[in-house]
């Protein structure tokens, strides 16, 4: 694994530290969670400086140990080092992403090179590497169990894959590259947030919103009033804001305006433009790959994934792209007919797709998403996701009040098993705010591991989203996509919560990127199963459980518009690979490159790629470079895994659930393919995914 598994959490004496800094003291909080309510921006930089100092001292102690290198005094010592730094980074970067500010961005710009210097200082420490290599070379004679063997192997690989075997001059250049990439990643993300926040479109005439649901209008009116424009309606490039317009608003020009605002973020030749950032990132990524003897960044990155190389990924994507594109073309033809009836002679455009797809869905299946939203109240949907985990794994979720949080909208839950033993602590933070980056995600705040005394430190996990905020008249009501997103991120949370690894660098979601999406996408399968829906889909006004007629419509429409959905996603995956298969960034024109890539793949004009380069956070900030394909790769696994339950005739079959829980508990302690084969007993069948999408019978 390329990720450096060298940082963690430790309870240690802080006699030389400033005890007024809540990040540096072991917090006196329930379950040892961070004292979010006491942390101020002024605490972060001193905390990083002290945690880095202690981590360096721990590394020096390993290097200067006069005893011969052993598994315990070198490999395990490394895994248990940097434990204070994990606590500091777990707090800072979670708050930065979910509730950041200009001041925190400035701190991040100072901290990023510090962390890069620390990481490089560890991984490129020749004396330390020689100790690691000594243990690795004799690993077969040490009588290690499988998890210990995995830790030795992955630790050695983390050094080798990050430059430990490079000559001195290349090591120095690698340090420079890593520091600059860290800063560029921050700049890219900050530019996207700034562009998203800066773009505000006010509508002054209610007739321009004809067709827009009342709930969406009310939310837009509240946003406008809060922005100092009472009596108007405010729309932004945030999905909760513009998606209802795309689906329902008859005003074609407004649909076009908002979609273009969304898809051209950070692409306006202004101070927030990301094109130059992308070019520089690609120059550095290619140079970095070539330091290790690879022709391109994709093969350097993929070597430790299940796919192994770009040829395998390209072939896989093409195998799904062809049937997806054909389905999308059929869907486009059907939507063109509807458009023609409204506007003879006009051609279907990307800003028409969602609107006419919604019309067709209502006509074909008598299914109106606005009819469903009253049944998808946020807290009920979350309760439904929790209920699935209870039925599958016996988990219980207890709300905790008066817990320290970084924002009043955050909620906290204690997770226990059937015997009442602590599994972990789960935070949820679901509403958009100015300082939160777009999208939804799961993070560790504190990882799971077992310390030298045998104490199992249970994890602290967070799920973050950007769902509709409650309005004066309505609670938070979710779309079907939102419901899937909540279940998806909760699947990641379960992967972290259920971890039973001894070593934190192998715990939870520390797996190959094309495997890590399996647990999350597996959970999506339960969202619209009738017996599950009846546990959470209650009308927020009447308390009525969702009627069978609506469930039938949802399932009848389950394969509707899947050509669009899959083509939109796969085009982003192929674009990602095209960028990272470049062998030089000389003369790279980001917009021209995107256009050529889409033309090469045969993308139809009626669909815009899910993520255009200048706001493609996944591959330019969050570590999914040459990895966005993993969502589809894991979809093959999750469809096949869910089929294992279906084959038993019981969605909660105890024996199958026990096998899948075992897979989740293992984290990265075993080879991913080996884990899946142990669960399923055979290779994943891609036809299960194609059947689910309706591409084959």
pLDDT value for 9: 33
Q: How high is the mean pLDDT of the chain?
A: 94
> Closest by alpha carbon to 633, among 684, 561, 572, 692?
684
For this structure, is 207 an active site residue? no
pLDDT in tens, 370-429: 899 999 999 999 999 999 999 999 999 999 999 999 999 999 999 999 999 999 999 999
pLDDT in tens, 122-171: 999 999 999 999 999 999 999 999 999 999 999 999 999 999 999 999 99
pLDDT in tens, 310-332: 999 999 999 999 999 999 999 99
pLDDT value for 679: 98
How is residue 26 written in tokens? Answer: 């072991």
**Helix 513-524 × helix 480-497 angle, to 10°:** 120
pLDDT value for 18: 42
In this structure, is residue 84 part of a structural domain?
no
Distance CA 545, CA 375 (A): 8
For residues 151 and 74, is the Cβ–Cβ distance under 8 A?
A: no
Distance CA 206, CA 544 (A): 32
pLDDT value for 49: 98
Distance CA 39, CA 21 (A): 8
Domain boundary among 263, 292, 316: 263
pLDDT value for 17: 39
Residue 11 scores a pLDDT above 90: no
In this structure, is residue 90 part of a structural domain?
no
In this structure, is residue 385 part of a structural domain?
yes
pLDDT value for 19: 55
pLDDT value for 696: 85
* Secondary-structure breakdown of the chain: helix, strand, coil percentages, each rounded to the nearest 5: 60, 5, 35
In this structure, is residue 485 part of a structural domain?
yes
> Closest by alpha carbon to 565, among 489, 631, 619, 491?
631
More confident residue, 212 or 368: 212
Burial bucket for residue 472 (CB in 10 Å: 0-12, 13-18, 19+): exposed
In this structure, is residue 392 part of a structural domain?
yes
pLDDT value for 12: 35
Q: Indicate if 396 and 537 belong to the same structural domain.
A: yes
In this structure, is residue 240 part of a structural domain?
yes
In this structure, is residue 176 part of a structural domain?
no
Helix intervals (H) in 545-653: 548-556, 562-580, 590-601, 617-620, 630-648
Distance CA 492, CA 575 (A): 25
Per-residue pLDDT, averaged over 489-494, amounts to 98
Give 632's pLDDT tier (boundaries 50, 70, 90). very high
Q: Indicate if 259 and 394 belong to the same structural domain.
A: no
Q: CATH number of the domain at 526, please.
A: 1.10.1370.40
pLDDT in tens, 212-270: 999 899 999 999 999 999 999 999 999 889 999 999 999 999 999 999 999 999 999 99
pLDDT value for 48: 98
pLDDT value for 14: 34
Per-residue pLDDT, averaged over 45-54, amounts to 98
pLDDT value for 622: 81
Residue 641 scores a pLDDT above 80: yes
Strands 460-464 and 422-429 come out as: parallel
Beta bridge partners of residue 203, listed in sequence order: 233
Strand order in the sheet with 411-416: 396-400, 411-416, 422-429, 460-464, 441-446
Share of residues in the chain with pLDDT > 70 (%): 97
| Strand intervals (E) in 421-549 | 422-429, 441-446, 449-450, 456-457, 460-464
Residue 208 scores a pLDDT above 50: yes
Q: Tell me the three state secondary structure of residue 651.
A: coil
Per-residue pLDDT, averaged over 272-301, amounts to 98
Per-residue pLDDT, averaged over 513-530, amounts to 96
- Length reported for the chain: 697
pLDDT value for 227: 95
Q: Indicate if 413 and 550 belong to the same structural domain.
A: yes
pLDDT value for 368: 86
For residues 340 and 38, is the Cβ–Cβ distance under 8 A?
A: no
pLDDT value for 3: 40
pLDDT in tens, 394-403: 999 999 999 9
Question: Which of 369, 489, 524, 568 does the annotation list as catalytic?
Answer: 489
Residue 94 scores a pLDDT above 90: yes
143: left (phi over 0), alpha (psi -120 to 50) or beta: left
Distance CA 337, CA 349 (A): 13
Q: Indicate if 403 and 548 belong to the same structural domain.
A: yes
Residue 562 scores a pLDDT above 70: yes
Give 6's pLDDT tier (boundaries 50, 70, 90). very low
For residues 284 and 585, is the Cβ–Cβ distance under 8 A?
A: no
Beta bridge partners of residue 462, listed in sequence order: 427, 443
Task: Using a cut of 0.85, tell me whether the model's pTM lies above it.
Answer: yes
Domain boundary among 248, 263, 278: 263
Q: How many Cα atoms within 13 Å fall on the side-chain side of residue 8?
A: 28
pLDDT in tens, 576-622: 999 999 999 999 999 999 999 999 999 999 999 999 999 999 999 98
More confident residue, 471 or 204: 204
Q: Indicate if 242 and 384 belong to the same structural domain.
A: no
Per-residue pLDDT, averaged over 541-559, amounts to 94
What is the maximal distance between C-alpha atoms in the chain? 84
Give 471's pLDDT tier (boundaries 50, 70, 90). confident
In this structure, is residue 621 part of a structural domain?
no
Domain range enclosing 544: 373-556
pLDDT value for 20: 85
Domain boundary among 556, 577, 592: 556
Q: Indicate if 394 and 253 belong to the same structural domain.
A: no
Structural domains of the chain, count:
2
């Amino acid at each position: 694994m390329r990720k450096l598994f060298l940082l963690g959490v430790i309870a240690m004496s802080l006699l030389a530290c400033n005890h007024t800094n809540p990040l540096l003291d072991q917090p006196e909080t329930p379950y040892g969670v961070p004292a979010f309510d006491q942390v101020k921006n002024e605490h972060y930089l001193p905390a990083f400086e002290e945690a880095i100092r202690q981590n360096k001292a721990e590394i020096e102690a390993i290097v200067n140990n006069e005893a011969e290198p052993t598994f315990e005094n070198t490999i395990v010592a490394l895994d248990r080092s940097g434990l204070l730094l994990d606590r500091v980074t777990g707090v800072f970067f979670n708050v930065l992403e979910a509730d950041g500010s200009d001041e925190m961005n400035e701190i991040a710009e100072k901290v990023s090179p510090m962390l890069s210097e620390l990481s490089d200082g560890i991984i490129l420490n020749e004396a330390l590497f020689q100790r690691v290599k000594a243990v690795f070379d004799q690993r077969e004679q040490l009588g290690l169990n499988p998890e210990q063997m995995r830790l030795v192997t992955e630790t050695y690989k983390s050094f080798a894959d990050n430059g430990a075997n490079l000559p001195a001059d290349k090591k120095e250049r690698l340090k420079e590259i890593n520091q600059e990439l860290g800063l560029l990643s921050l700049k890219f993300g900050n530019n996207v947030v700034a562009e998203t926040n800066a773009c505000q479109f006010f509508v002054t005439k209610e007739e321009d919103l004809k067709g827009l649901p009342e709930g969406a209008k009310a939310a837009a009116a509240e946003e406008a009033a809060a922005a100092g424009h009472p009596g108007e309606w405010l729309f932004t490039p945030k999905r909760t804001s513009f998606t209802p317009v795309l689906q329902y608003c008859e005003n074609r020009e407004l649909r076009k305006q908002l979609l273009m605002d969304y898809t051209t973020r950070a692409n306006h030749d202004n101070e927030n433009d990301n094109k130059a950032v992308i070019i520089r990132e690609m120059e550095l990524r290619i140079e970095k790959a070539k330091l290790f003897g690879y022709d391109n960044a994709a093969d350097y990155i993929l070597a430790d994934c299940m796919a192994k190389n770009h040829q395998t990924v390209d072939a896989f994507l093409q195998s799904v792209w062809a049937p997806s594109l054909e389905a999308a073309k059929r869907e486009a033809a059907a939507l063109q007919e509807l458009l023609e009836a409204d506007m003879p002679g006009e051609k279907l455009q990307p800003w028409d797709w969602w609107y006419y797809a919604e019309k067709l869905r209502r006509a074909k299946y008598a299914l109106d998403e606005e009819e469903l939203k009253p049944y998808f109240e946020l807290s009920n949907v979350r309760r439904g996701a929790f209920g699935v985990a209870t039925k599958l794994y016996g988990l219980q979720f207890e709300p905790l009040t008066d817990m320290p949080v970084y924002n009043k909208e955050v909620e906290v839950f204690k997770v226990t098993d059937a015997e009442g033993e602590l599994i972990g602590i789960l935070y949820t933070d679901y509403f958009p705010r100015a300082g939160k980056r777009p999208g939804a995600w799961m993070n560790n705040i504190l990882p799971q591991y077992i310390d030298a005394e045998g104490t199992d430190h249970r994890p602290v996990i967070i799920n973050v989203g950007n769902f509709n905020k409650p309005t004066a008249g309505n609670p938070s009501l979710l779309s079907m996509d939102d419901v899937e997103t909540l279940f998806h991120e909760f699947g990641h949370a379960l992967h972290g919560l259920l971890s039973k690894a001894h070593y934190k660098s192998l715990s939870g979601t520390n797996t190959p990127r094309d495997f890590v999406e399996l647990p999350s996408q597996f959970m999506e399968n339960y969202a619209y199963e009738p017996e599950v829906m009846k546990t959470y889909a209650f009308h927020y006004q009447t308390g009525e459980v969702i009627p069978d007629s609506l469930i039938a419509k949802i399932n009848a429409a389950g394969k509707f518009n899947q050509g669009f959905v899959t083509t939109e996603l796969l085009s982003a995956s192929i674009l990602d690979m095209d960028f990272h298969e470049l062998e030089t960034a000389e003369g790279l024109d980001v917009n021209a490159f995107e256009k050529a890539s889409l033309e090469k793949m045969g993308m139809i004009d009626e669909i815009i790629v899910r993520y255009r380069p200048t706001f493609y956070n996944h591959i330019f900030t969050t570590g999914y470079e040459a990895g966005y394909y993993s969502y589809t790769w894991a979809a093959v696994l999750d469809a096949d895994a869910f089929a294992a339950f279906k084959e038993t005739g019981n969605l909660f079959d105890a024996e199958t659930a026990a096998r899948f829980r075992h897979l989740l508990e293992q984290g990265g302690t075993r080879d991913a393919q080996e884990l899946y084969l142990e669960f399923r007993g055979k290779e994943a069948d891609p036809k299960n995914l194609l059947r689910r999408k309706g591409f084959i019978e």
